[in-house]
Structure 1
Amino acid sequence: MTIRYARKKQISEGRPMADINVTPLVDVVLVLLIIFMVTAPMLQMGIDVNLPKAKSQNVDVTEEKVVLTIDGAKGIFVNKTKIPLAELGLRLEGVFADRSERELYLRADRTVPYGFVVEVMAEIRKAGIDKLGMITEPPEEIK
């Protein structure tokens, strides 16, 4: 008894293979999707601040904008760089020296005394900042 096998047609007949293997592409895309899903919430993180809740218009604060943050321990940060209050005016003048629009966003912890926030705002005004925006959290809606 003789067993004969049908010989498969070989692909290497001088023409390129027409099938594209998309499995590695799908694997790479899924890994990138997972990476972006994990890292996207961390981009807005930085200095932990309990913002006050208030109804206001939504403003898109991107990395190009200058954000001044006051944490619960009265620490002052300009774009994640800690600065003492005495040097704030000089540092802000340096940051805005090459910018045409002098716009600053202020994030202050709700536990910081109002008087300290006013002192910081006075230093901001002395530095020649034209526009000052306050960042808050939207209030929780009652269901």
Structure 2
Amino acid sequence: MAFGRIERSPGAQPMSEINVTPLVDVMLVLVVIFILTAPLLASSIRLQLPRAEGTQAGAAARSVTVALDAAGRLFVDDAPVDAAALQQRLAQIAAHDPDTELQLRADEAVPYGRVVQIMGAAQAAGLRRVGFVAQPVQQKQ
């Protein structure tokens, strides 16, 4: 009785296999992180574009058209002006509304330096928004 044999049940055997489930979980999380961050690393320009389901046409921004023909003549809203009058006219427009956009239409034969002079006159007058008007390319059929 005192020195009897106590039977013990055999204990759990150690696992000789690797449990792969946690490894797969970690790898899936890393794949998701790489999928989300890869497009951010590829683009150097970061934009926050507005979202809208259906935009309604609002009031058009105020604009003034300055045209420069091949002969070098200036027109403001289809009225001919000279260089000195252009500066005064642009200053009047900027004083009335500084957010007015200057839409510049120049003939392709006009030297680039002349276009830059008009842009400089617009900036000196206080107009900061300049848009260039061009004709769309005709597709051959």
| Cross-structure match for 1:82 | 80
Q: Which has the higher contact order (CA 8 A, sep 6+)?
A: 1
1:109 deviation in Å?
A: 0.7
> Which of 85, 91, 103 is the aligned partner of 1:93?
91
Alignment-mate amino acid for residue 113 of structure 1: P
The DSSP-based 3-state class of the residue aligned with 1:73 is coil
Overall identity of the aligned pairs, in %: 33
Any runs of at least 4 consecutive aligned residues in structure 1 with deviations exceeding 6 A, and if so which?
none
Match of 1:112 in 2: 110
Instruction: Compute the displacement of 1:79 (Å).
Output: 0.5
Alignment gaps of 5+ in structure 2: 1-59
Which of 48, 68, 71 matches 2:69? Answer: 71
**Partner-residue secondary structure (3-state), 1:96:** helix
> Per-residue deviation at 1:140?
1.6
The match for 1:136 is: 134
TM-score (norm 1): 0.51
Match of 1:36 in 2: none
RMSD, aligned α-carbons: 2.0
Instruction: Structure 1 unaligned segments of length 5 or more: list them.
Output: 1-61
Q: Distance in 1 between matches of 2:95 and 2:132?
A: 22
Counterpart-to-counterpart distance in 1, 2:135 and 2:127:
23
Bigger Cα Rg: 2
Following TM superposition, by how much is the alpha carbon of 1:100 offset from its aligned partner in structure 2, in angstroms? 4.9
TM-score scaled by structure 2?
A: 0.52
